[in-house]
Structure 1
Amino acid sequence: MMSRLENKVAFITGGSRGMGAAIALKLAEDGADIAITYTSAASKADETVKAIEKLGRRAVAIKADNLDAAAVESAVNEAHTKFGRLDILVNNAGVYTMDTVDQLELAEFDRVMSIHVRASFVASKTAAAHMSAGGRIITIGSNLAEIVPFSGILAYATSKAALIGLTKALARDLGPREITANIVHPGSTDTDMNPANGDHADGQRARMAIPKFGEARDIAGLVAFLASEESRFITGSGFVIDGGANA
Protein backbone atom coordinates (compact mmCIF):
# COMPACT_ATOMS: atom_id res chain seq x y z
CA MET A 1 0.00 0.00 0.00
CA MET A 2 1.33 3.44 -0.91
CA SER A 3 2.28 5.61 2.07
CA ARG A 4 0.16 8.72 2.40
CA LEU A 5 3.07 11.07 1.64
CA GLU A 6 4.67 8.92 -1.08
CA ASN A 7 6.45 11.03 -3.73
CA LYS A 8 6.16 14.18 -1.59
CA VAL A 9 9.02 16.42 -0.46
CA ALA A 10 8.90 18.19 2.90
CA PHE A 11 11.05 21.07 4.13
CA ILE A 12 11.30 21.57 7.90
CA THR A 13 13.09 24.53 9.46
CA GLY A 14 14.95 23.68 12.66
CA GLY A 15 14.65 19.98 11.97
CA SER A 16 17.85 18.75 13.57
CA ARG A 17 16.50 17.95 17.03
CA GLY A 18 13.52 18.04 19.36
CA MET A 19 10.12 18.69 17.83
CA GLY A 20 11.57 19.43 14.40
CA ALA A 21 13.42 16.13 14.21
CA ALA A 22 10.31 14.24 15.35
CA ILE A 23 8.29 15.92 12.61
CA ALA A 24 10.95 15.13 10.01
CA LEU A 25 11.03 11.47 11.00
CA LYS A 26 7.24 11.13 11.06
CA LEU A 27 6.86 12.67 7.60
CA ALA A 28 9.60 10.34 6.35
CA GLU A 29 7.80 7.35 7.90
CA ASP A 30 4.74 8.44 5.95
CA GLY A 31 6.75 8.39 2.72
CA ALA A 32 8.13 11.89 2.17
CA ASP A 33 11.67 12.86 1.27
CA ILE A 34 12.97 15.43 3.72
CA ALA A 35 15.04 18.60 3.81
CA ILE A 36 15.82 20.15 7.19
CA THR A 37 17.64 23.26 8.28
CA TYR A 38 19.89 23.67 11.29
CA THR A 39 21.83 26.57 12.78
CA SER A 40 24.70 25.08 14.77
CA ALA A 41 23.90 21.46 15.72
CA ALA A 42 25.54 19.87 12.66
CA SER A 43 26.00 16.51 14.39
CA LYS A 44 22.34 16.38 15.40
CA ALA A 45 21.32 17.29 11.87
CA ASP A 46 23.49 14.48 10.52
CA GLU A 47 21.89 12.02 12.96
CA THR A 48 18.43 13.05 11.77
CA VAL A 49 19.43 12.68 8.11
CA LYS A 50 20.83 9.20 8.75
CA ALA A 51 17.69 8.15 10.63
CA ILE A 52 15.55 9.29 7.70
CA GLU A 53 17.74 7.46 5.22
CA LYS A 54 17.36 4.27 7.28
CA LEU A 55 13.64 4.56 6.59
CA GLY A 56 14.41 4.41 2.88
CA ARG A 57 13.80 8.09 2.20
CA ARG A 58 16.12 10.74 0.81
CA ALA A 59 17.23 13.51 3.15
CA VAL A 60 19.43 16.58 3.26
CA ALA A 61 20.43 19.00 6.03
CA ILE A 62 21.09 22.61 5.07
CA LYS A 63 22.71 25.13 7.39
CA ALA A 64 20.46 28.20 7.58
CA ASP A 65 19.86 30.53 10.49
CA ASN A 66 16.29 31.87 10.66
CA LEU A 67 17.78 35.26 11.52
CA ASP A 68 19.22 35.39 7.98
CA ALA A 69 16.34 35.85 5.54
CA ALA A 70 18.57 35.29 2.52
CA ALA A 71 19.81 32.00 4.00
CA VAL A 72 16.25 30.79 4.59
CA GLU A 73 15.26 31.64 1.02
CA SER A 74 18.39 29.98 -0.36
CA ALA A 75 17.77 26.82 1.69
CA VAL A 76 14.22 26.42 0.37
CA ASN A 77 15.43 26.88 -3.19
CA GLU A 78 18.29 24.44 -2.62
CA ALA A 79 15.88 21.78 -1.39
CA HIS A 80 13.68 22.27 -4.43
CA THR A 81 16.68 21.98 -6.74
CA LYS A 82 17.92 18.80 -5.03
CA PHE A 83 14.60 16.97 -5.00
CA GLY A 84 12.92 18.52 -8.04
CA ARG A 85 9.75 19.49 -6.19
CA LEU A 86 8.48 20.87 -2.88
CA ASP A 87 5.11 19.89 -1.42
CA ILE A 88 5.20 20.53 2.33
CA LEU A 89 6.71 23.34 4.39
CA VAL A 90 6.88 23.16 8.17
CA ASN A 91 7.88 26.44 9.81
CA ASN A 92 9.25 24.98 13.03
CA ALA A 93 12.49 26.75 14.03
CA GLY A 94 12.06 28.85 17.12
CA VAL A 95 13.49 30.27 20.32
CA TYR A 96 12.08 30.91 23.78
CA THR A 97 12.81 34.08 25.67
CA MET A 98 11.59 35.51 28.97
CA ASP A 99 11.50 39.23 29.69
CA THR A 100 8.79 41.52 31.03
CA VAL A 101 7.98 44.73 29.16
CA ASP A 102 10.22 46.80 31.43
CA GLN A 103 13.17 44.45 30.83
CA LEU A 104 12.73 43.59 27.16
CA GLU A 105 15.24 45.28 24.87
CA LEU A 106 14.19 46.28 21.37
CA ALA A 107 17.00 44.20 19.86
CA GLU A 108 15.71 41.07 21.61
CA PHE A 109 12.14 41.78 20.53
CA ASP A 110 13.32 42.18 16.95
CA ARG A 111 15.37 38.97 17.17
CA VAL A 112 12.40 36.87 18.28
CA MET A 113 10.08 38.42 15.71
CA SER A 114 12.64 37.80 12.97
CA ILE A 115 13.18 34.15 13.88
CA HIS A 116 9.50 33.34 14.25
CA VAL A 117 7.60 35.69 11.94
CA ARG A 118 9.90 37.11 9.27
CA ALA A 119 11.57 33.76 8.59
CA SER A 120 8.18 32.03 8.36
CA PHE A 121 7.04 34.63 5.85
CA VAL A 122 10.22 34.23 3.78
CA ALA A 123 10.07 30.43 3.82
CA SER A 124 6.36 30.43 2.98
CA LYS A 125 6.71 32.89 0.13
CA THR A 126 9.66 30.99 -1.34
CA ALA A 127 8.10 27.55 -0.89
CA ALA A 128 4.73 28.60 -2.29
CA ALA A 129 6.42 29.63 -5.53
CA HIS A 130 7.47 25.99 -5.99
CA MET A 131 4.23 24.33 -4.84
CA SER A 132 1.45 23.00 -7.00
CA ALA A 133 -2.13 22.13 -5.98
CA GLY A 134 -2.07 20.05 -2.82
CA GLY A 135 0.79 21.98 -1.27
CA ARG A 136 0.86 22.34 2.50
CA ILE A 137 2.23 25.08 4.73
CA ILE A 138 2.20 24.18 8.42
CA THR A 139 3.53 26.56 11.05
CA ILE A 140 4.38 25.71 14.64
CA GLY A 141 2.86 28.30 16.93
CA SER A 142 2.22 27.93 20.67
CA ASN A 143 -0.71 27.66 23.03
CA LEU A 144 0.80 30.83 24.54
CA ALA A 145 -0.30 32.66 21.39
CA GLU A 146 -3.88 32.41 22.60
CA ILE A 147 -3.60 32.60 26.39
CA VAL A 148 -0.77 34.27 28.33
CA PRO A 149 -1.03 32.77 31.82
CA PHE A 150 2.06 34.37 33.36
CA SER A 151 4.29 37.39 32.86
CA GLY A 152 7.64 37.59 31.10
CA ILE A 153 6.86 36.17 27.67
CA LEU A 154 5.93 39.32 25.79
CA ALA A 155 8.17 38.79 22.75
CA TYR A 156 7.44 35.06 22.54
CA ALA A 157 3.66 35.35 22.85
CA THR A 158 3.51 38.32 20.47
CA SER A 159 5.51 36.54 17.79
CA LYS A 160 3.46 33.35 18.04
CA ALA A 161 0.21 35.33 17.91
CA ALA A 162 1.47 37.07 14.77
CA LEU A 163 1.86 33.65 13.15
CA ILE A 164 -1.90 33.16 13.44
CA GLY A 165 -2.46 36.20 11.23
CA LEU A 166 0.22 35.06 8.82
CA THR A 167 -1.41 31.64 8.55
CA LYS A 168 -4.89 32.99 7.90
CA ALA A 169 -3.57 35.41 5.28
CA LEU A 170 -1.61 32.66 3.53
CA ALA A 171 -4.75 30.51 3.49
CA ARG A 172 -6.64 33.28 1.71
CA ASP A 173 -3.84 34.08 -0.72
CA LEU A 174 -3.05 30.48 -1.63
CA GLY A 175 -6.49 28.90 -1.40
CA PRO A 176 -7.31 29.51 -5.09
CA ARG A 177 -4.24 27.38 -5.89
CA GLU A 178 -5.45 24.62 -3.51
CA ILE A 179 -2.47 25.14 -1.21
CA THR A 180 -3.45 25.01 2.45
CA ALA A 181 -1.96 26.87 5.42
CA ASN A 182 -2.56 25.86 9.03
CA ILE A 183 -0.95 26.42 12.41
CA VAL A 184 -0.30 23.96 15.25
CA HIS A 185 -0.15 25.30 18.81
CA PRO A 186 1.80 22.94 21.09
CA GLY A 187 1.68 23.29 24.83
CA SER A 188 4.20 21.82 27.24
CA THR A 189 6.17 19.26 25.25
CA ASP A 190 9.17 17.35 26.57
CA THR A 191 12.12 18.71 24.56
CA ASP A 192 15.55 20.19 25.25
CA MET A 193 13.95 23.63 25.27
CA ASN A 194 11.32 22.67 27.87
CA PRO A 195 12.13 19.37 29.61
CA ALA A 196 9.47 17.55 31.60
CA ASN A 197 11.82 17.55 34.60
CA GLY A 198 12.69 21.23 34.32
CA ASP A 199 12.45 23.85 37.08
CA HIS A 200 9.07 25.16 35.86
CA ALA A 201 7.55 21.84 34.80
CA ASP A 202 5.32 21.33 37.85
CA GLY A 203 3.69 24.72 37.34
CA GLN A 204 2.96 23.85 33.73
CA ARG A 205 1.44 20.50 34.63
CA ALA A 206 -0.81 22.21 37.17
CA ARG A 207 -2.53 24.11 34.30
CA MET A 208 -3.28 21.01 32.26
CA ALA A 209 -6.39 18.84 32.13
CA ILE A 210 -4.08 15.90 31.41
CA PRO A 211 -1.27 16.72 33.89
CA LYS A 212 1.68 15.42 31.91
CA PHE A 213 3.97 16.80 29.25
CA GLY A 214 3.31 15.88 25.65
CA GLU A 215 5.92 14.12 23.55
CA ALA A 216 7.38 15.43 20.32
CA ARG A 217 5.76 12.56 18.46
CA ASP A 218 2.33 13.84 19.53
CA ILE A 219 2.99 17.09 17.69
CA ALA A 220 4.50 15.23 14.75
CA GLY A 221 1.38 13.13 14.35
CA LEU A 222 -0.83 16.20 14.03
CA VAL A 223 1.57 17.80 11.56
CA ALA A 224 1.58 14.60 9.48
CA PHE A 225 -2.22 14.68 9.30
CA LEU A 226 -2.19 18.29 8.15
CA ALA A 227 0.43 17.41 5.53
CA SER A 228 -1.70 14.61 4.12
CA GLU A 229 -4.51 14.42 1.57
CA GLU A 230 -6.92 13.79 4.43
CA SER A 231 -6.64 17.46 5.42
CA ARG A 232 -7.26 18.85 1.93
CA PHE A 233 -10.31 20.93 2.99
CA ILE A 234 -8.74 22.36 6.15
CA THR A 235 -7.04 25.73 5.81
CA GLY A 236 -6.60 28.90 7.84
CA SER A 237 -7.12 26.89 11.02
CA GLY A 238 -5.31 26.57 14.33
CA PHE A 239 -4.95 23.36 16.33
CA VAL A 240 -4.11 23.53 20.04
CA ILE A 241 -2.38 20.37 21.31
CA ASP A 242 -1.56 21.05 24.95
CA GLY A 243 -3.18 18.46 27.20
CA GLY A 244 -6.01 20.87 27.91
CA ALA A 245 -3.92 23.68 29.38
CA ASN A 246 -5.94 26.23 27.43
CA ALA A 247 -9.29 24.51 28.02
Structure 2
Amino acid sequence: MFSSKVVLITGASSGIGAATAVRFAAEGAKLALTGRNVENLQATAQKCEEKNQLKPLIIKANLGLDDDVKNIINTVITIYEKLDVLINNAGVFFISNPEDVDMKEYDEIFSTNVRSIYYLTNLAIPHLIKSKGAIVNVSSLAAIRPFAACIPYCMSKAALDHFTRCLALQLAPKQVRVNNINPGVIPTDIHRRAGIPAEQIQLIYERCKDSHLLGRAGTVEEAAEVIVFLASEKSSFVTGETLLMDGGCHLSSATL
Protein backbone atom coordinates (compact mmCIF):
# COMPACT_ATOMS: atom_id res chain seq x y z
CA MET A 1 0.00 0.00 0.00
CA PHE A 2 2.90 2.39 0.69
CA SER A 3 5.53 0.86 -1.57
CA SER A 4 7.83 3.66 -2.85
CA LYS A 5 6.13 6.14 -0.46
CA VAL A 6 8.27 8.18 1.94
CA VAL A 7 6.83 8.52 5.44
CA LEU A 8 8.23 10.82 8.14
CA ILE A 9 7.25 9.99 11.74
CA THR A 10 8.12 12.15 14.74
CA GLY A 11 8.38 10.65 18.20
CA ALA A 12 9.18 7.28 16.63
CA SER A 13 11.38 6.02 19.45
CA SER A 14 8.54 4.49 21.50
CA GLY A 15 4.81 4.13 22.00
CA ILE A 16 2.42 5.04 19.21
CA GLY A 17 5.22 6.41 17.02
CA ALA A 18 7.22 3.18 17.14
CA ALA A 19 4.18 1.00 16.50
CA THR A 20 3.15 3.23 13.60
CA ALA A 21 6.62 2.96 12.07
CA VAL A 22 6.48 -0.84 12.18
CA ARG A 23 2.99 -0.81 10.65
CA PHE A 24 4.08 1.45 7.78
CA ALA A 25 7.13 -0.76 7.24
CA ALA A 26 4.84 -3.76 6.85
CA GLU A 27 3.18 -1.85 4.00
CA GLY A 28 6.51 -1.26 2.24
CA ALA A 29 7.09 2.39 3.18
CA LYS A 30 10.45 4.14 3.10
CA LEU A 31 10.74 5.58 6.59
CA ALA A 32 12.33 8.58 8.24
CA LEU A 33 12.18 8.28 12.02
CA THR A 34 12.88 11.13 14.42
CA GLY A 35 13.21 11.41 18.18
CA ARG A 36 15.62 12.29 20.95
CA ASN A 37 16.66 8.78 21.97
CA VAL A 38 18.88 7.31 19.26
CA GLU A 39 19.14 3.92 20.93
CA ASN A 40 15.36 3.56 20.97
CA LEU A 41 15.11 4.83 17.40
CA GLN A 42 17.58 2.17 16.34
CA ALA A 43 15.48 -0.49 18.05
CA THR A 44 12.40 0.74 16.17
CA ALA A 45 14.36 0.84 12.92
CA GLN A 46 15.47 -2.76 13.43
CA LYS A 47 11.86 -3.91 13.79
CA CYS A 48 10.94 -1.96 10.66
CA GLU A 49 13.79 -3.45 8.66
CA GLU A 50 12.63 -6.92 9.61
CA LYS A 51 9.27 -6.11 8.00
CA ASN A 52 10.40 -4.86 4.60
CA GLN A 53 14.20 -5.16 4.36
CA LEU A 54 14.48 -1.39 4.02
CA LYS A 55 16.71 0.46 6.47
CA PRO A 56 14.89 3.49 7.89
CA LEU A 57 16.54 6.88 8.01
CA ILE A 58 17.17 7.88 11.63
CA ILE A 59 17.30 11.59 12.49
CA LYS A 60 18.05 12.59 16.07
CA ALA A 61 16.13 15.77 16.77
CA ASN A 62 14.81 17.98 19.52
CA LEU A 63 11.63 19.48 18.10
CA GLY A 64 12.00 22.41 20.46
CA LEU A 65 14.99 23.59 18.41
CA ASP A 66 14.23 25.28 15.10
CA ASP A 67 17.52 24.17 13.55
CA ASP A 68 16.69 20.55 14.37
CA VAL A 69 13.26 20.91 12.79
CA LYS A 70 14.75 22.36 9.61
CA ASN A 71 17.35 19.60 9.56
CA ILE A 72 14.63 16.94 9.63
CA ILE A 73 13.03 18.14 6.41
CA ASN A 74 16.34 18.93 4.71
CA THR A 75 17.69 15.46 5.52
CA VAL A 76 14.57 13.65 4.33
CA ILE A 77 14.55 15.50 1.02
CA THR A 78 18.30 15.11 0.54
CA ILE A 79 18.15 11.34 1.07
CA TYR A 80 14.76 10.44 -0.40
CA GLU A 81 14.14 13.44 -2.69
CA LYS A 82 10.45 13.56 -1.76
CA LEU A 83 7.94 13.28 1.08
CA ASP A 84 4.55 11.58 0.82
CA VAL A 85 3.29 11.32 4.40
CA LEU A 86 3.96 13.31 7.58
CA ILE A 87 2.96 11.82 10.93
CA ASN A 88 3.13 14.43 13.70
CA ASN A 89 3.20 12.09 16.67
CA ALA A 90 5.72 13.59 19.12
CA GLY A 91 4.21 15.16 22.21
CA VAL A 92 4.77 15.78 25.91
CA PHE A 93 2.44 15.56 28.89
CA PHE A 94 2.57 16.93 32.43
CA ILE A 95 0.24 16.77 35.40
CA SER A 96 -0.32 20.38 36.37
CA ASN A 97 -2.07 22.35 39.10
CA PRO A 98 -3.35 25.80 38.05
CA GLU A 99 -2.83 26.96 41.64
CA ASP A 100 0.87 26.12 41.40
CA VAL A 101 1.96 27.87 38.22
CA ASP A 102 4.93 26.39 36.33
CA MET A 103 5.33 28.33 33.10
CA LYS A 104 8.34 26.25 32.07
CA GLU A 105 6.12 23.19 31.79
CA TYR A 106 3.46 25.23 30.00
CA ASP A 107 6.02 26.53 27.51
CA GLU A 108 7.47 23.06 26.92
CA ILE A 109 4.02 21.60 26.26
CA PHE A 110 3.12 24.28 23.74
CA SER A 111 6.57 24.27 22.17
CA THR A 112 6.40 20.53 21.49
CA ASN A 113 2.68 19.90 21.05
CA VAL A 114 1.85 22.98 18.97
CA ARG A 115 4.75 25.16 17.83
CA SER A 116 7.06 22.41 16.58
CA ILE A 117 4.20 20.74 14.69
CA TYR A 118 3.24 24.03 13.09
CA TYR A 119 6.82 24.69 12.01
CA LEU A 120 7.68 21.19 10.81
CA THR A 121 4.41 20.91 8.91
CA ASN A 122 4.87 24.22 7.16
CA LEU A 123 8.36 23.21 6.07
CA ALA A 124 6.95 19.92 4.76
CA ILE A 125 4.00 21.43 2.88
CA PRO A 126 5.80 22.27 -0.41
CA HIS A 127 6.98 18.67 -0.69
CA LEU A 128 3.59 17.24 0.25
CA ILE A 129 1.93 19.40 -2.40
CA LYS A 130 4.26 17.91 -5.01
CA SER A 131 3.37 14.37 -3.93
CA LYS A 132 -0.31 15.12 -3.19
CA GLY A 133 0.43 13.60 0.17
CA ALA A 134 -1.17 13.28 3.58
CA ILE A 135 -0.67 14.58 7.10
CA VAL A 136 -1.84 12.77 10.22
CA ASN A 137 -1.56 14.49 13.60
CA VAL A 138 -1.74 12.56 16.85
CA SER A 139 -3.98 14.50 19.21
CA SER A 140 -5.88 13.23 22.26
CA LEU A 141 -9.27 12.73 23.84
CA ALA A 142 -8.08 15.58 26.09
CA ALA A 143 -8.67 17.97 23.20
CA ILE A 144 -12.39 17.30 23.47
CA ARG A 145 -13.04 16.14 27.03
CA PRO A 146 -11.70 18.42 29.78
CA PHE A 147 -9.42 17.09 32.52
CA ALA A 148 -8.61 19.34 35.47
CA ALA A 149 -5.18 17.89 36.22
CA CYS A 150 -3.59 18.70 32.87
CA ILE A 151 -5.03 21.97 31.60
CA PRO A 152 -2.06 23.08 29.42
CA TYR A 153 -1.96 19.63 27.80
CA CYS A 154 -5.70 19.79 27.04
CA MET A 155 -5.27 23.28 25.63
CA SER A 156 -2.39 22.21 23.40
CA LYS A 157 -4.32 19.28 21.96
CA ALA A 158 -7.40 21.43 21.34
CA ALA A 159 -5.13 23.80 19.41
CA LEU A 160 -3.80 20.87 17.40
CA ASP A 161 -7.32 19.77 16.48
CA HIS A 162 -8.17 23.21 15.14
CA PHE A 163 -4.83 23.42 13.34
CA THR A 164 -5.81 20.18 11.58
CA ARG A 165 -9.13 21.61 10.47
CA CYS A 166 -7.68 24.93 9.32
CA LEU A 167 -4.83 23.26 7.45
CA ALA A 168 -7.21 20.80 5.78
CA LEU A 169 -9.22 23.75 4.52
CA GLN A 170 -6.08 25.43 3.19
CA LEU A 171 -4.54 22.38 1.52
CA ALA A 172 -7.60 20.64 0.08
CA PRO A 173 -7.33 22.55 -3.23
CA LYS A 174 -3.75 21.23 -3.48
CA GLN A 175 -5.00 17.64 -2.91
CA VAL A 176 -3.16 17.27 0.41
CA ARG A 177 -5.31 15.64 3.08
CA VAL A 178 -4.94 16.53 6.77
CA ASN A 179 -6.49 14.49 9.59
CA ASN A 180 -5.80 13.52 13.17
CA ILE A 181 -6.61 10.83 15.68
CA ASN A 182 -7.75 11.48 19.24
CA PRO A 183 -6.82 8.43 21.35
CA GLY A 184 -8.14 7.72 24.81
CA VAL A 185 -5.87 6.05 27.34
CA ILE A 186 -3.15 3.99 25.66
CA PRO A 187 -0.33 2.49 27.73
CA THR A 188 2.92 4.15 26.64
CA ASP A 189 5.83 5.84 28.41
CA ILE A 190 4.11 9.25 28.36
CA HIS A 191 2.74 8.94 31.91
CA ARG A 192 6.04 7.69 33.33
CA ARG A 193 7.96 10.51 31.64
CA ALA A 194 5.50 12.95 33.24
CA GLY A 195 6.68 11.73 36.63
CA ILE A 196 3.51 9.90 37.59
CA PRO A 197 4.27 7.06 40.07
CA ALA A 198 3.95 3.53 38.72
CA GLU A 199 1.11 2.63 41.08
CA GLN A 200 -0.90 5.68 39.98
CA ILE A 201 -0.32 4.82 36.32
CA GLN A 202 -1.60 1.33 36.95
CA LEU A 203 -4.67 2.84 38.61
CA ILE A 204 -5.33 4.94 35.49
CA TYR A 205 -5.27 1.78 33.38
CA GLU A 206 -7.54 -0.02 35.83
CA ARG A 207 -10.07 2.81 35.70
CA CYS A 208 -10.38 2.28 31.95
CA LYS A 209 -12.63 -0.68 32.77
CA ASP A 210 -15.22 1.92 33.78
CA SER A 211 -14.25 5.09 31.91
CA HIS A 212 -13.91 3.43 28.48
CA LEU A 213 -17.15 1.84 27.33
CA LEU A 214 -15.26 -1.08 25.77
CA GLY A 215 -13.88 -1.83 29.23
CA ARG A 216 -10.15 -1.39 28.61
CA ALA A 217 -7.39 0.91 27.48
CA GLY A 218 -6.37 0.97 23.83
CA THR A 219 -3.13 -0.35 22.36
CA VAL A 220 -0.40 1.30 20.33
CA GLU A 221 -1.08 -1.18 17.54
CA GLU A 222 -4.73 -0.07 17.36
CA ALA A 223 -3.62 3.56 17.13
CA ALA A 224 -1.14 2.67 14.40
CA GLU A 225 -3.85 0.99 12.34
CA VAL A 226 -5.99 4.13 12.40
CA ILE A 227 -3.03 6.37 11.52
CA VAL A 228 -2.07 4.19 8.55
CA PHE A 229 -5.70 4.17 7.40
CA LEU A 230 -5.90 7.98 7.47
CA ALA A 231 -2.62 8.25 5.55
CA SER A 232 -3.67 5.72 2.91
CA GLU A 233 -5.79 5.82 -0.22
CA LYS A 234 -8.43 3.89 1.71
CA SER A 235 -9.38 7.25 3.24
CA SER A 236 -8.92 9.23 0.02
CA PHE A 237 -12.14 11.22 0.56
CA VAL A 238 -11.43 12.07 4.21
CA THR A 239 -9.85 15.36 5.27
CA GLY A 240 -10.22 17.72 8.22
CA GLU A 241 -11.31 14.82 10.42
CA THR A 242 -10.51 14.52 14.14
CA LEU A 243 -11.14 10.83 14.69
CA LEU A 244 -11.85 9.68 18.23
CA MET A 245 -10.43 6.24 19.05
CA ASP A 246 -11.11 6.11 22.74
CA GLY A 247 -13.19 3.00 23.32
CA GLY A 248 -16.23 5.21 23.84
CA CYS A 249 -14.70 7.20 26.71
CA HIS A 250 -16.13 10.47 25.35
CA LEU A 251 -19.61 9.02 25.95
CA SER A 252 -18.89 7.82 29.48
CA SER A 253 -19.76 9.67 32.67
CA ALA A 254 -17.00 7.87 34.57
CA THR A 255 -13.82 9.76 35.40
CA LEU A 256 -10.34 8.62 34.52
| Deviation for aligned residue 1:235 | 0.7
Give the letter for the 1:206 counterpart: D
Letter matched to residue 159 of structure 1: S
Give the TM-score normalised by structure 1.
Answer: 0.93
Gaps of 5+ in 2: 193-197, 252-256
The aligned length equals 242
Partner of 1:45: 41
Q: Does the CA-based 8 Å contact 1:168-1:181 persist in structure 2?
A: yes
Distance in structure 2 (CA, Å) of the matches to 1:108 and 1:191: 20
Hey, what's the Cα distance between the residues in 1 that align with 2:161 and 2:118?
A: 12
Q: Which moved more, 1:59-68 or 1:197-206?
A: 197-206
- Corresponding residue to 1:96 among 93, 99, 104: 93
Q: Give the TM-score normalised by structure 2.
A: 0.90
Kindly indicate whether the alpha-carbon contact (under 8 Å) linking 2:83 and 2:131 is maintained by their aligned counterparts in 1: no
- Cα separation, 2, equivalents of 1:69 and 1:167: 21
Shift of 1:12: 0.5
Please name the residue that 1:175 is paired with. 172
In structure 1, the gaps of 5 or more residues are none
Percent of aligned pairs sharing the same letter: 31
The equivalent of 1:244 in structure 2 is: 248
Counterpart code for 1:47: A
In the TM superposition, what are the counterparts of 1:1-247 in structure 2 within 5 Å? 4-39=1-36, 41-55=37-51, 56-131=53-128, 132-148=130-146, 150-194=147-191, 198-247=202-251
Query: In structure 2, how many angstroms separate the alpha carbons of the residues matched to 1:44 and 1:210?
Result: 31
Q: Distance in 2 between matches of 1:57 and 1:220?
A: 19
More helix as a share of residues: 2
- Matched residue SS, 1:221: helix
RMSD, matched Cα = 1.6
CA contact (8 A) 1:134 1:178 kept: yes
